[in-house]
Structures are given as structure tokens and as C-alpha cells.
């Protein structure tokens, strides 16, 4: 694996975090897959917190199960209320009134979401991110993405190269949202790594 070839391509914090923790990234395909998914999901390594500042139309499009035209108007542009509603009573969260939806909203490069996942990541990393959720965004954005790949057994899928970008994308995102960008990123990273 040629991680050093990406030293001036990746943001310093991403490169440094990969140097410290890359234990399951054992070849260039794995690294290119990982970086293309993380790069896409995080807006090129910039987005560390889930944006829940939806308009009424956005709520109806993204969360049709939770909102109708009347409730969407009541919740629009209220991220905390939106999070508490859509993440209530699932992923280890309590009800809307518990505030767990907001407290355990998506953080990190792959948006760890839900109290149960914060707890599982805390056990993996050895620090209490359930008690201090912002650690995932501020200290462990890359480690939490590595944990996601480990937990979801994605590494072996990465070994097949470019042909598996759609499959890995579905496992990361639940669909093929942004597939062309993910492919472009994969091709760019693998080119640098193999040069």
C-alpha cells in the first residue's frame, strides 16, 4: 500500500489519522474505496455533523415516513426537532422528548448515528463517545469511518477494485446516491496510488 503517495493530496488531518490507524487497509484498492466513500459522504472531508436544516419540501422528500405537508411546515428549519422526531425510538435512542435524536445525530466522516452506534464505537475506540458525542466529529471522524467499514465487513468487497464501487456505495449509503462522484474519486485515488 502506498499511503505516502497521498500525503499532499489529502487534507493533513486525514492523512495523519490514516498514518496512525490503517490496520485493515492492506492494499491500494481498499484505500481507494475507503477514501472515495468517505470523501463523497463528507463533502471532501469537510462535513463532520449531519445537516438537518431541511425545508418543508426537503422533509417530505427525505423523510416522507415521518412528515406530511402540515407537519413538514411545523418542523422546517428546526434541526433539533427534526432529529428528535426522525431518530426517536430507534438505533438505541429514546423517544422524541429524550433528545437522543439530536444528541446522537450523524457525526464523523460517515455520520455515525444513534445512541447504540455511539456506544458500540465507544467500545471499539476505548473512549466514551456516548457521554461526549462531539468526540466523533472532533477527535475521531476518520476512526469512526474505519469502524463502520470494519463493522459492516466492507474490506473484502473493496479487494475487487473498481467493479465493486456500486456495491460498496450501497452498503455505505443505502443506495447509489452520488455514484458517479464516488467512481471519479475512486479512479483518482487509485491513479495516485498506482503511479
With a cut of 90, say whether residue 2 has pLDDT above it: no
Per residue in 64-96, pLDDT tens? 999 999 999 999 999 999 999 999 999 999 999
Domain regions of the chain by residue span: 3-46+139-194, 56-105
With a cut of 90, say whether residue 23 has pLDDT above it: no
Q: Which residues are CB-neighbours of 86 under 8 A, at least 6 positions away?
A: 63, 66, 101
- Residue 1: the pLDDT is 82
Per residue in 106-147, pLDDT tens? 999 999 999 999 999 999 999 999 999 999 999 999 999 999
Compute how many other C-beta atoms are within 10 angstroms of the C-beta atom of residue 103: 18
- Residue 141: the pLDDT is 97
Closest CA to 164 of 143, 141, 182: 182
Taking the C-alpha atoms of residue 20 and residue 118, their distance in angstroms, rounded to an integer, is: 21
- Residue 42: the pLDDT is 97
Confidence of residue 44 (pLDDT cuts 50, 70, 90): very high
- Residue 157: the pLDDT is 97
Amino acid at each position: 500500500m502506498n499511503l505516502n503517495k497521498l500525503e499532499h493530496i489529502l487534507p493533513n488531518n486525514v492523512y495523519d489519522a490514516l498514518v496512525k490507524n490503517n490496520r485493515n487497509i492492506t492494499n491500494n484498492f481498499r484505500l481507494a474505496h475507503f477514501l472515495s466513500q468517505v470523501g463523497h459522504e463528507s463533502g471532501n472531508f469537510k462535513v463532520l455533523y449531519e445537516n438537518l436544516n431541511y425545508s418543508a419540501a426537503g422533509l417530505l422528500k427525505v423523510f416522507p415516513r415521518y412528515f406530511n405537508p402540515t407537519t413538514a411546515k411545523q418542523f422546517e428549519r428546526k434541526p433539533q426537532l427534526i432529529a428528535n422526531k426522525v431518530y426517536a425510538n430507534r438505533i438505541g435512542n429514546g423517544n422524541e422528548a429524550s433528545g437522543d435524536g439530536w444528541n446522537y445525530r450523524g457525526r464523523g466522516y460517515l455520520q455515525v448515528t444513534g445512541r447504540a452506534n455511539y456506544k458500540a464505537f465507544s467500545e471499539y475506540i476505548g473512549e466514551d463517545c456516548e457521554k461526549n458525542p462531539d468526540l466523533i466529529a472532533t477527535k475521531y471522524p476518520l476512526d469512526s469511518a474505519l469502524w463502520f467499514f470494519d463493522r459492516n465487513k466492507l474490506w473484502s468487497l473493496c479487494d475487487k477494485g473498481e467493479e465493486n464501487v456500486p456495491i460498496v456505495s450501497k452498503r455505505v449509503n443505502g443506495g447509489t446516491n452520488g455514484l458517479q462522484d464516488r467512481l471519479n474519486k475512486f479512479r483518482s485515488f487509485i491513479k495516485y496510488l498506482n503511479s
